[in-house]
Amino acid sequence: MSRDLGIVGLGRTSYAEALGLQRRLAQQRVDHALDQDLLLLVEHNPVVTLGRGSKDSSMPFPAEALAARGVEVFEVERGGDVTFHGPGQLVGYPIFDLAEHKKDLHWFMRRLEAALITALGELGVPGERNEGLTGVWTGGRKIASLGIHVKQWVTWHGFALNVTTDLSYFDLIVPCGITGVEMTSVQKELDERTPRDVWNRSLDSVILGFAEAFDQEPHALALDDLVTLTPVPSP
């Protein structure tokens, strides 16, 4: 097992582009063309994604109404219900081979929660689990959502941590299908007035949280490095 964790910062990237990259890298991890776990860190333009467990009741407004607000809609293969991604939200896509950790999806989800709880603790926000639900809360308010897909024990999709997110977007959906849930953000919990500072601290804290949760050594990778490491397999 490699203890290396490649951290790939994608900046602001379209959801479609990031989804295509995840699928490509996950397949290369399945094919053993990529020999280390990756964590892609990204910020998206406004988008609503519908997981395999999505219910009609979780989308009270039609896609046309969301489009009028500049929100794209994607149906994807991850587990879970409806969620929102947008500016100010730190989205992480772990491309992990669980055969090198533990072949247990429940374990992996709890480790993701642990990573985010550690990250929030570093920021001064007390993170917590909510019995019977997936994700991370603070003071009864939801601050991070999780949803993954697995193929031959390789994961993609992942988590969304609200850092400086405009929380009004969540009024357009029933987040994760949980009626009455109150969403919050790191910035709101800290009453933070310097968004870029809290964003950079959140990035560092999430990387630390993953390193501790999965006992790995994080190191930065550029996309150019990644292409070099993962040649496209011959057809």
Residues 6+ apart with CB under 8 A from 26: 95, 151, 154, 155, 156
Distance CA(57)–CA(92), nearest Å, equals 27
Distance CA 161, CA 172 (A): 18
Q: Which two tokens stand for residue 72?
A: 């794209």
Q: Looking at residue 44, what DSSP letter applies? A: -
For 207, the 3-state DSSP assignment is helix
Out of 8, 40, 119, 176, pick the active-site residue.
Answer: 176
Structure tokens at 8: 């790939």
What whole-number distance in Å separates Cα of residue 71 and Cα of residue 85? 9
Contact 226, 8 (CB under 8 A): yes
Closest CA to 66 of 57, 55, 74, 76: 74
DSSP class of residue 31 equals: T
Any catalytic annotation for residue 176?
A: yes
Q: Would you please indicate which residues are annotated as catalytic (active-site) residues?
A: 176
